[in-house]
Amino acid sequence: MSNPDLETKPLERKELYSYQKRDISAIFDRMDEVEPNCHLLYQLPTGGGKTVIFSEIVRRYLEYHNKKVMVLTHRIELCKQTSKMLDGFGVKNKIINSKIKDLPDQGEYSCFVAMVETLKNRLNDEKLEIEDIGLVIIDEAHYNSFRKLFSFFKNSFILGVTATPLSSNIKLPMYENYKELIVGDPINKLIENGYLAKANTMSYDVGLQSLKIGINGDYTVKSSDELYSQLDMQSKLLHAYEEVSKGKKTLIFNNGIHTSLYVLDTFTEAGYTIRHLDNTTSAEERKEILRWFKHTPDAILTSVGILTTGFDEPTVETIIINRATKSLTLYFQMIGRGSRLLPNKKEFNIIDLGNNAARFGLWDAPVDWQHIFKSPEYYLENLREDAEIEMHFKYEMPAEIRALFKNSVIEEFDIEEAFKQAIKKNLRPKTVIDDSIDQHALMCVENSDDLNEAKRLAKHLEESAAYRVKIFCRCLSNSTKNYRDWLIEEYKKNLQLSIGKKFRERLFSMAD
């Protein structure tokens, strides 16, 4: 999606960074070495400047070759952004959109920018001369819709560009259409060299057993809506926001409109400034919402099926992935919306509510793209299953929450070990929960000046409490979800009682 504030002013030509110049040289070196109709794929992380790079490639190609260039995108917004970027590089180009039925002036242009279906229709109508097109650049090349046009450009060099060289359809691997892959700098190196913001990832324990896989290989919208619209998941989302991102510009990604509207209601009722956006929102309203989001410091935007590509708002401080996905591409696209640097923004937050970081690895972790490109089936078949992820999930207290309990020496409370010791000593298993509550209560009292403050602090321990209850129920082996939900509520209630008891004890000891 284009930024509405950029629509009335052309983009200035970007200054190329050293890694961009290096990659451009590597691409031209390969173009000189291989056959003129070779298919080459180039990978660079979101935020690395792929549009800048291929715009310079277009400019340089036209300077040294007496042929034209075609740039293909999969969305009209990307067509507009690409055209403006090419303008900035001095490339006279023409957008071929649905309004363009005839092309009598095509001889005046050296470069065309088009969407797949529109171009296919114009080629079928024989409205476009393509014999002199020597270079075809495909943006977001992992989408399979571009394949239907390859037969029209049998004599052209094709350069695919993507952040994730993994086909959106496992049955149509990218190695079938591209001879080789050139890999740009990884995310961690771009962060280290000051080109991308550093990410702080907070993962929350979620149960995904009810999710179903659709024919596209990802979780279905229906099963996602049913799970993520539940009250406990909405509460977890709100709790995570208040714990990590309160007062920060936040972008929330959901899998279904139903969920996003629930999020809108949940945050509105909690008193937060939030708007909703999906692919049914009118173009005019979309512009207004994005303008509001840009200029509102603490804005929260909940979205569905949109803003994952072509949307650039550097002021985003937190990305909340309020969904699970099996798509590595989507995972990187969502997080990439928060990775832009600003003079006063060197870091951003990721709140993961779908086991995504455990499934794919942290956003800035090294990725062997050559292996994924050559063996996508092997990679996908070896992704961690949800049951395994949930079995090995370990709660770690976020730094923001740890800072609230700075007066306490927080030692890990090993529920499994405490359970073993209780059984060994013939104690009731529930003494483990009692001891856990006692530790949490002590933390609240040690870091408060009065009883009300201590009870408010307890809210920040709910995620830790829920995790401990889950491990305790696993130790019981025959507990139900209803029992676990009941025990969590009992834990909260008894924690408040224990805090009151400890506070009274502290007052009595001070009186003595």
Per-residue pLDDT tens digits for 266-285: 999 999 999 999 989 998 99
In this predicted model, what pLDDT tens digit does every residue of 38-68 receive, in sequence order?
999 999 998 899 999 999 999 999 998 889 9
Percent of the chain surpassing pLDDT 70 = 95
**Mean pLDDT, residues 255-262:** 95
Least confident of 53-57, 101-105, 130-134: 101-105
Which two three-digit tokens encode residue 178?
């591209």
pLDDT category, 8, cuts 50, 70, 90?
very low
Residues recorded for the chain: 512
Strand, coil or helix: 160: strand
pLDDT category, 12, cuts 50, 70, 90?
low
Please check the confidence at residue 352 and state whether its pLDDT lies above 80: yes
Please check the confidence at residue 159 and state whether its pLDDT lies above 80: yes
Residue 170 CA: distances (Å) to CA of 138, 148, 217, 325, 379:
19, 17, 8, 15, 10
What's the N-to-C CA distance of the chain in angstroms? 67
pLDDT category, 77, cuts 50, 70, 90?
confident
Which phi and psi (to 5°) does residue 318 adopt?
A: -140, 135
Return the H-helix or E-strand segment holding 237: helix 231-244
Which residue in 188, 158, 192 sits closest to 176, CA to CA?
158
**Within a 10 A sphere around the Cβ of 409, how many other Cβ atoms?**
7
Percent of the chain surpassing pLDDT 90 = 61
Which phi and psi (to 5°) does residue 434 adopt?
A: -60, -45
Residue 377 CA: distances (Å) to CA of 130, 143, 173, 178:
35, 17, 8, 16
pLDDT category, 303, cuts 50, 70, 90?
very high
Please check the confidence at residue 387 and state whether its pLDDT lies above 90: no
Please check the confidence at residue 1 and state whether its pLDDT lies above 60: no
Strand, coil or helix: 169: coil
Strand, coil or helix: 257: helix
Adjacent-strand bridge partners of 69: 111, 135
Adjacent-strand bridge partners of 180: 40
Please check the confidence at residue 494 and state whether its pLDDT lies above 50: yes
Identity (one letter) of the amino acid at 398? P
Please check the confidence at residue 512 and state whether its pLDDT lies above 80: no
Please check the confidence at residue 11 and state whether its pLDDT lies above 70: no
Distance CA 355, CA 358 (A): 5
Identity (one letter) of the amino acid at 501? K
In this predicted model, what pLDDT tens digit does every residue of 420-477 receive, in sequence order?
999 999 999 999 999 999 999 999 999 999 999 999 999 999 989 989 998 999 898 7
Please check the confidence at residue 13 and state whether its pLDDT lies above 70: no
Q: What is the pLDDT of residue 94?
A: 84
Q: What is the pLDDT of residue 388?
A: 82
Please check the confidence at residue 160 and state whether its pLDDT lies above 90: yes
Which residue in 191, 148, 188 sits closest to 172, CA to CA?
148
- Write down the residue that tokens 């129920």 correspond to: 473
Task: Provide the mean pLDDT of the chain.
Answer: 89
Q: What is the pLDDT of residue 6?
A: 39
Residue 114 CA: distances (Å) to CA of 85, 121, 127, 484:
14, 11, 13, 54
Residue 69 near residue 159 (C-beta atoms within 8 A): no
Question: Is pLDDT larger for residue 395 or for residue 156?
Answer: 156
Q: What is the pLDDT of residue 397?
A: 84
DSSP 494-506: HHHHHHHHHHHHH
Distance CA 439, CA 461 (A): 11
**Mean pLDDT, residues 148-162:** 90
Return the H-helix or E-strand segment holding 330: helix 328-336
Which two three-digit tokens encode residue 328?
């590595």
Q: What is the pLDDT of residue 75?
A: 78
Please check the confidence at residue 307 and state whether its pLDDT lies above 90: no
Q: What is the pLDDT of residue 457?
A: 93
Adjacent-strand bridge partners of 275: 301
Please check the confidence at residue 2 and state whether its pLDDT lies above 50: no
The structure's pTM equals: 0.82
Which two three-digit tokens encode residue 329?
């591409």
Q: What is the pLDDT of residue 299?
A: 96
Counting other chains too, the contacts that 402-409 makes at CB distance below 8 Å and 24 or more residues apart are 404/447, 404/457, 404/460, 405/443, 405/446, 405/447, 405/457, 406/447, 407/446, 407/447, 408/442, 408/443, 408/446, 408/447
Residue 433 near residue 469 (C-beta atoms within 8 A): yes
Residue 386 CA: distances (Å) to CA of 213, 255, 355:
12, 17, 8
Q: What is the pLDDT of residue 4?
A: 41
